[in-house]
């Protein structure tokens, strides 16, 4: 729990700030002013949640479990569903809700090169948002079944878009008609 009364000293500017106004970077507190230069935060409402029983792997990369996930959209999304079931592939935008404090240099997952967050796909990043292209298997009401989503159980889903692969298949189909 973040204690609003507790203050920490920013490791960059040396000012004391409430713990809630700090981010841990390489285990050192850095204030939001030093990180973001005074811009306002953005508020995004989740449209649904992932149900797949998957957990984050012990190391920084990957998830446990199988490849099929259910996305339960909130009932209020029922008016947004028109045409969705005709698509083959979707881009899911989701929140990395279990991300851990940011490291500025680490060995990235696929080749072990020492890089920072912007040159990696680490879930431990300042902006905890991920995008994944998935195959759409089924739509029932506001519940989607998809293959290939690397999000864990309970992940908030922020948005759904048609993936490029679906656009290519749709244009092939309409050309052949
Ligand atoms: Zn600072």
Q: Show me where the domains of the chain are located.
A: 7-36, 48-165
Closest CA to 17 of 26, 8, 28: 8
Ligand 1 centroid distance, CA of 1 (Å): 21
Ligand 1 centroid distance, CA of 121 (Å): 26
Question: 3-state DSSP call for residue 33?
Answer: helix
Ligand 1 centroid distance, CA of 114 (Å): 26
- Give CA separation, 154 vs 35, 47, 106, 114, 136, in Å: 29, 13, 27, 31, 19
Ligand 1 centroid distance, CA of 27 (Å): 14
- pTM for this structure? 0.85
pLDDT tens per residue across span 12-65? 999 999 999 999 999 999 999 999 998 999 999 999 999 998 887 765 456 667
Domain 7-36 sits in CATH 2.60.310? no
Homologous superfamily (CATH) of 48-165 is: YaeB-like (2.40.30.70)
């Amino acid at each position: 729990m973040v204690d609003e009364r507790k203050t920490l000293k920013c490791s960059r500017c040396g000012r004391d700030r409430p713990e809630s106004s700090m981010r841990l970077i390489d285990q050192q507190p850095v204030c939001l002013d030093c990180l973001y230069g005074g811009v306002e935060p953005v508020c995004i409402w989740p449209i649904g949640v992932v149900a797949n029983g998957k957990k984050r792997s012990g190391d920084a990369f990957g998830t446990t479990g199988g490849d099929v996930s259910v996305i339960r959209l909130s009932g209020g999304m029922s008016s947004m569903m028109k045409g969705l079931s005709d698509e083959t592939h979707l881009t899911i935008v989701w929140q990395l809700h279990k991300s851990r404090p940011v490291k500025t240099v680490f060995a990235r997952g696929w080749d072990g090169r020492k890089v920072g967050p912007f040159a990696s796909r680490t879930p431990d990043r300042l902006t905890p948002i991920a995008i994944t292209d998935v195959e759409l298997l089924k739509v029932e009401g506001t519940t989607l079944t998809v293959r290939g989503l690397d999000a864990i159980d309970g992940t908030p889903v922020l948005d759904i878009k048609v993936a490029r692969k679906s656009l290519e298949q749709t244009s092939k189909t309409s050309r052949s008609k």
